[in-house]
Amino acid sequence: MTLQQLKYLIEVAEKGSINQAARSLYISQPSLSNAIRDIENEIQINIFKRTNKGIRVTAEGAEFLVYARQIVEQAELLEKKYKGKKSSRLEFRVSTQHCAVTVVAFGELIKKYENDDYEFQLKESRSVEVIDDVINYKSEVGIIYINEFNEKAIRKKINEGNLDLEVVFTAKPHVLVSSHNELTKKKKVELKDLEDYPCLSFGQDEYNLFYFSEDILSTMLHKKSIKVSERATLYNLMARLNGFSISTGIISERLKKQGIVPIDLEIDNVIKVGTVIRKDSKLSEMGENFIEEFTKASNSML
C-alpha cells in the first residue's frame, strides 16, 4: 500500500466516479481501476460498491478512508515542514452547523488577514459531519448545537474522536417565522400554537441519526414536517409555506431585512452552542483568532 494509492482512493471517493477521478489525476481509467483492485485485494475489504449509477463507498470503505485521509494530510504537512516547501499562503477551515454567529466571526477573522495570501473555508453542515470534519483534519474548528435531547450522543462521539467541546454560549429556543405569519402578533408562543404549521428542520442525510438532530423538538411527531439540507431553502420555504423553524433566535441583519422574525418559545430547554477542536493538536493562530471572534460575536448578538 502506497501513499499514492491512498490519494487515488480519496479522489475516487470525492468524485464518486472512477472516470472523473482518473481525469482529475491525469491517469487512465484502467490504471486507476487496477490500483483500486490491488489495494482492495491487499486489505481484503471492498472499499467501493459498483452500481450502474457509479460507485458508492461501503461502510468498511468509509472507515478505511478516515484513516487514509489522516495519513495523506499528515504526509502533506510533513512535506511542507521538512522539505523547505512551506507555503506563505495561510489556510484555515471551519465546519459549522447553521449558525449566524459563525458567519459574523468568520468575516471578522478574514478582515484580520486581508493583506495576506490566504485560503479560508467555511463549510455549513450537520452535526455528525461537523464532528467528523474535525476528527479527520478537514477542519480545524467545528461549531455545533447541543440540547438536552442530543447532548449525550454528541458528547459520546466527541470523546470517541479525542476532541474537546467547549460551550461558548447558551440561548433560549426561539421560533423563526416569516413576517407574514400570524404568530408574529405574539410575544411568546407555546408548542400548541405550532401544531398546524409546517415544521422545517435540517435533516441528517445518509446518517439520518435521530439522536444527532439539531432541532430541540426532534422528539415530537409533527403533523407537517419538512427536512431540508440548505439554509436558503429553509428560509425560502418558511415564507412560501408559512412554516416555522427552531433556533437560538440569533439571526443576521440580512435575514431580518428579508422578513424572518424570531419569537420566544415557551419551553423548558436551552440550546448550547460550542466549539469542537482536536485534543492532540495545538490551535493555529487563525484558529485562536476565530474562536476569539466567535465569542465576541456571540456576546454582541445575544
Q: What is the model's pLDDT at position 252? A: 82
Q: For the segment 261-299, what is each residue's pLDDT rounded down to a tens digit?
A: 999 999 888 899 999 999 988 899 999 999 999 999 999
Residue 221 has pLDDT above 70, yes or no: no
Residue 91 has pLDDT above 90, yes or no: no
The fold adopted by the segment(s) 3-82 is Arc Repressor Mutant, subunit A (1.10.10)
Most confident among 69-83, 143-157, 208-222 (mean pLDDT): 143-157
Q: What is the model's pLDDT at position 207? A: 44
Q: Residue 44 and residue 56: Cα distance in Å, rounded?
A: 17
Q: What is the model's pLDDT at position 217? A: 58
Q: What is the model's pLDDT at position 189? A: 94
Four-way CATH pick for 90-169+272-301: 3.90.1300.10, 3.40.50.300, 3.40.190.10, 3.30.70.100: 3.40.190.10
Q: Check the CA dihedral 282-288-291-295 and report its sign.
A: positive
User: What is the average per-residue pLDDT within 143-172?
Assistant: 91
Domain spans, the chain? 3-82, 90-169+272-301, 171-270
Residue 107 has pLDDT above 60, yes or no: yes
Residue 206 has pLDDT above 50, yes or no: no
Q: What is the model's pLDDT at position 103? A: 93
Nearest to 97 by CA among 48, 39, 152, 146: 146
Cell 478512508, residue located:
65
**DSSP calls for 234-251:** HHHHHHHHT-EEEE-S--
User: What element of type H or E holds 141?
Assistant: strand 141-146
User: What is the average per-residue pLDDT within 81-102?
Assistant: 80
Low-confidence winner among 35-44, 73-82, 91-100 (lowest mean pLDDT): 73-82
Q: Which residue has the higher pLDDT, 78 or 181?
A: 181
Residue 211 has pLDDT above 60, yes or no: no
Would you say the CATH fold of 171-270 matches that of 90-169+272-301? yes
Q: Which residue has the higher pLDDT, 95 or 3?
A: 95
Residue 90 has pLDDT above 90, yes or no: no
Four-way CATH pick for 171-270: 3.30.420.10, 3.40.50.1010, 3.40.190.10, 1.10.3720.10: 3.40.190.10
Q: Maximum Cα–Cα distance for the chain, whole Å?
A: 66
Average pLDDT of the residues of the chain = 86
Residue 148 has pLDDT above 50, yes or no: yes
CA 190 from centre of chain:
30
Q: Which residue has the higher pLDDT, 211 or 68?
A: 68
Q: What is the model's pLDDT at position 193? A: 93
Assign residue 58 a region: left if phi > 0, alpha if psi is -120 to 50, beta otherwise? beta
User: What is the average per-residue pLDDT within 78-105?
Assistant: 80
Q: What is the model's pLDDT at position 110? A: 95
- Residue 158's SS3 state is helix
- Residue 56's SS3 state is strand
Residue percentage of the chain with pLDDT more than 70: 90
